[in-house]
Structure 1
Amino acid sequence: MPTSQKPSSLPPNDTRPWPAPGVQMDNARVFLTECARSRARTLLLPDKDADGLCSALIVHHTLIQLGAAPASLAVHFPAKGSNIHAAASRAAIAASRARFVIATDQGSRGGPAIAPDPAVRTLVLDHHWSEGFPDGAVVCSSAACPPVATSATLAFEVCQPLLDDTRRMGQGNAAAMDVRVVQERLEWLCAIGTMGDLGTSFKWTPPFPDVRECLRRWTKKTLGEAVALVNAPRRSAEYDVETAWRALLHCTSPKDLVSPRTGGDVVRLFEAREAVAAETARCSRSPPAFSGDGRVALVRVSSGAQIHPLIATRWAGSLKGPRLEIVMCANDGYTPGMTNFSCRIAKNRRGGGGADNPEVDIIGALKEYAARVPGLREAMGDNFARGHKEASGGIVRTEQFEKLWDVMAGAEREGDEPARKKRKGTKGQPVQKNTLEGWLKAV
């Protein structure tokens, strides 16, 4: 968007809060301003994907413009298969001696404070649905303000007015870059992060920011390739998220991100993308099994790479069936003893609504299946059915996932005779004898 323009505005006569409730937006801006002026040690906790990294970098550059010392800003990424609420991450947060902690796109949840020290101030910027948030955190969430903004868009909307204020008042960090240069960088970071979650074909209609100038300057092709490259390291078996962070931090434009001649970290992005593509191709050949009620298709893989979301998305675009709602890919090779799984809505059920095509709620469906086994939902904990209603998943112990799939495989279709025996396709047993081709013919 041209730097002379303001962040997004709601359509005329529309007073709905967007991208988050006004009081939350104000509180987030006050938090960032006080954080920068304190020049105290600050720890950023971004999620590992394009949306998480870009939202944190929008905050990073804004803090510097507001007066924070670059050396006071640090970043922490949880270990592969972990999260910021795990014991190891809490220990790392405590060891950082940060006085301010900012979590972006981490998937909100209720419970203890993110930082063990109650004196540490915490800000959560997120767009994932949650019924609770960490104790004591200042929360700015777009989850309840449709159309739901990504974390990158949310961060952009929070930070852009702060940059406008520094430019008008001539305040901020004297050692920082020109405010206009930073605003341009925030624009393409917003575009890359948002396209990372919503796709390169996303229509930037109000109330989303006006990024027409950004798209013209860098092109959707370049921005889309940047998304793929930035996401590659965290999907690789090496889980090299720091490389993607450094590449985004030091590149001055999207063109730098998509050119191997930039060298260093950018070359590593290309290597990671090739490795992930090869592993995705290998595992995409696994045939799906189907739940007894026909609502869920399951593709099983075993890989050290985080390819289960990619494979779920691929199959969701091709599988069809009159009852099919959810495509799930389960990966038992990503974390020892655990099954990581991702779910996507089947193509024929997207954009649902009305009696003929009711809306699919993946989180609700997963919880409903789990509730059929007493105690299973509770045993799987907070890492089950995370994310969005349209794109969910989880990380659970493998034996728990097998129980969940047993429930799905044994589920009966509405109107079926109850005595029919179902094929379960549990781990170590044949999934099912009918082929995908035969199933497609049958339906």
Structure 2
Amino acid sequence: MFPKSPTKRALSSPTAMRNAKKPRLAAAAMAGARDVLGEGRWKAWPAPSQNLKAARVFMKECAELRLPTIIVPDKDADGLSSGLILYRTLRGLGLPPELIHVHFLAKGANVFSTSERARLEGLAKSIGGDSGMDDTPGEVRVIFVDQGSRGSPPLLQPILKEGRIIVQTMVIDHHQSDDFPEASQVLTACKSPPICTSSLLTYLMCYPLERTIPESCAWLALLGIFGDLGPNEINFGDVEGDWPVSEEMLRLRDTIKVVKKKALSDAVSLLNAPRRTPAFNVWSAWDVLLGADGPSMVTESSELRNLRSRINEEVERCSRAAPQFSKDGRVALLRIDSQYQVHPVVAIRWASRLKGKDLKMIMVVNPSHHPDPNLVSFSCRIPANLRKLPETAQPDLQRLLKEYGAKVDDGFLARVGGDYARGHKQATGGIIPGVEFELLVSQGMDVSTKAFSRFGEASVDGQKKIKDFFSKG
């Protein structure tokens, strides 16, 4: 399926952007050379410089060689905005829209699954034309963005013809990982703190490639930032802060002043709505975003607003679940039952309210979201009060989950594989067999009636005891 061709309005600099002030480069100069990306302290930020250069060559070759290119973005606001930055950059570099294909994964699938590999191989063959080899496509490029990273066989087989690779893949990501798919060019931010979102990484990679990108895609970079980190995580332009003060980052700061935080936050929640519904029609979010020149055009979508309203009702229903606690008091477990993907939202909601002496992780499990009834989906977040700690002092939930998994038996971690404890240290989750999850709960974390005494120790909003919170309705 081809995405709609972008309108002239969408590809040009947005009207609001033309009225924005130019980045205050004097502030960058005051901060010193360390705030010039690619130099000094920021030599390897937002990713290693050699990988950024290689990614830019990959993008330019797609356009210069007029290669059919498949963009495979994740379905959330960060993935969608990253995908559109790539799309607009390729168009700006001269690649015709009929050669750019956007592919969304099926519900419950990931890029490492056999079913998605088959779908992508079929798409590559259909768009690659005749290479002169039996069942072999012509040269095709594939860009996976914000899909998570792990060691794996090639995401697509890098078929060779006369010594030349026919199918080449690039992974753009920011999720924590020490291993990556074989035969893929990788651009990752996960080893370059402060770790940026996929949208910011993509924006900074594309920034020098085409003259319209800095202004036309600044708000898209912000969408992903707001979607993954929230509106207050990055204090743009703070020379005393953890983030760089550079031309690129100052441009984003000035863009926020024009498009406004509320509009960005509203657009994020609307774009996230389709993927959370049972229908999983991510194309509806993409189509709205593709035709928008700013967040206000996203917030005007009646379709997305209706979907968000239905999701909000489901979140309210599922948030009434009462938590159980692990014997050591480090985990609060909530069980919900919904075909909607609301377990991450419920986890975030409870993480913002629940506090406990030893509490490290809010875990929400949902057995009804995944199409396979034998699998359960779960999301984990750290309590919001612990986010005030330095990043090195915050709980590492991925490590905590692996610790509990190792207590089940020696084979647990091998059985659940790469779909367990994926994502980020402070925001993780997974999809594993229900029988394995119950072993984790009972044997790994020891969540049982014996641990229910912890229920009386936790508080909601740091004031009301949780037992009173539920007993009084």
What residue identity is the alignment partner of 1:300? R
Give the C-alpha shift of residue 432 in structure 1: 8.3
Instruction: Return the match for 2:218 from 187, 198, 223.
Output: 187
8 Å Cα contact 2:46/2:192 also seen in 1: yes
Equivalences for 1:106-121 in 2 at 5 Å?
A: 106-118=147-159, 119-121=166-168
Aligned CA distance change for structure 1 residues 9 and 101 (closer, same or farther; 3 Å): farther
Q: Distance in 2 between matches of 1:61 and 1:160?
A: 11
Residues 1:147 and 2:194 are matched in the alignment: yes
8 Å Cα contact 1:352/1:360 also seen in 2: no
Find the residue that maps to 2:208 and give its secondary structure.
Answer: helix
Aligned CA distance change for structure 1 residues 433 and 358 (closer, same or farther; 3 Å): closer
Q: How many residues align?
A: 403
Equivalences for 1:1-400 in 2 at 5 Å?
A: 11-14=31-34, 15-16=40-41, 17-97=44-124, 99-118=140-159, 119-164=166-211, 179=212, 182-202=213-233, 203-205=235-237, 206-207=243-244, 209-210=249-250, 211-259=252-300, 266-335=301-370, 336-352=373-389, 358-372=393-407, 373-400=409-436
Give the C-alpha shift of residue 44 in structure 1: 0.6
Aligned CA distance change for structure 1 residues 441 and 28 (closer, same or farther; 3 Å): same
Aligned CA distance change for structure 1 residues 323 and 433 (closer, same or farther; 3 Å): closer
What residue identity is the alignment partner of 2:93? L
Task: Please give the per-residue CA displacement for 1:334-380, whole angstroms capped at 9, x wherever unaligned.
Answer: 012211011000123224359xx943000000011101122011100
Q: Distance in 2 between matches of 1:353 and 1:191?
A: 23
8 Å Cα contact 1:90/1:116 also seen in 2: no
Find the residue that maps to 2:224 and give its secondary structure.
Answer: helix
Length-normalised TM-score, structure 1: 0.85
Which residue of structure 1 lines up, in the alignment, with residue 5 of structure 2?
Answer: none
Task: Please give the per-residue CA displacement for 1:358-403, whole angstroms capped at 9, x wherever unaligned.
Answer: 4300000001110112201110011100000010000001111111
Q: Distance in 2 between matches of 1:9 and 1:401?
A: 50
8 Å Cα contact 2:394/2:426 also seen in 1: no
Task: Please give the per-residue CA displacement for 1:250-299, whole angstroms capped at 9, x wherever unaligned.
Answer: 1222211111xxxxxx2221111011101101110000000000000001
8 Å Cα contact 1:125/1:139 also seen in 2: yes
Q: Distance in 2 between matches of 1:308 and 1:288?
A: 13
8 Å Cα contact 2:174/2:190 also seen in 1: yes
Q: Distance in 2 between matches of 1:240 and 1:193?
A: 19
What residue identity is the alignment partner of 2:449? R
Task: Please give the per-residue CA displacement for 1:143-168, whole angstroms capped at 9, x wherever unaligned.
Answer: 1111111000000000011114xxxx
8 Å Cα contact 2:23/2:254 also seen in 1: no
Aligned CA distance change for structure 1 residues 30 and 184 (closer, same or farther; 3 Å): same
Task: Please give the per-residue CA displacement for 1:51-95, whole angstroms capped at 9, x wherever unaligned.
Answer: 011011101100111111111111111111111111111111111
8 Å Cα contact 1:329/1:341 also seen in 2: yes
Give the C-alpha shift of residue 117 in structure 1: 4.3
Length-normalised TM-score, structure 2: 0.80
8 Å Cα contact 2:330/2:361 also seen in 1: yes
Q: Distance in 2 between matches of 1:258 and 1:359?
A: 34
Give the C-alpha shift of residue 410 in structure 1: 2.3
Give the C-alpha shift of residue 235 in structure 1: 1.1
8 Å Cα contact 1:3/1:184 also seen in 2: no
Give the C-alpha shift of residue 200 in structure 1: 1.8
What residue identity is the alignment partner of 1:380? V
Q: Distance in 1 between matches of 2:184 and 2:396?
A: 28
Runs of 4 or more consecutive aligned structure 1 residues displaced over 4 Å after TM superposition: 1-11, 431-442
What residue identity is the alignment partner of 1:95? G
Instruction: Return the match for 1:423 from 449, 467, 470.
Output: 449
What residue identity is the alignment partner of 1:374? D
Q: Distance in 1 between matches of 2:393 and 2:291?
A: 46
Q: Distance in 2 between matches of 1:328 and 1:292?
A: 14
Between the aligned residues of both structures, percent identity stands at 38
Find the residue that maps to 2:95 and give its secondary structure.
Answer: coil
Find the residue that maps to 1:124 and give its secondary structure.
Answer: strand
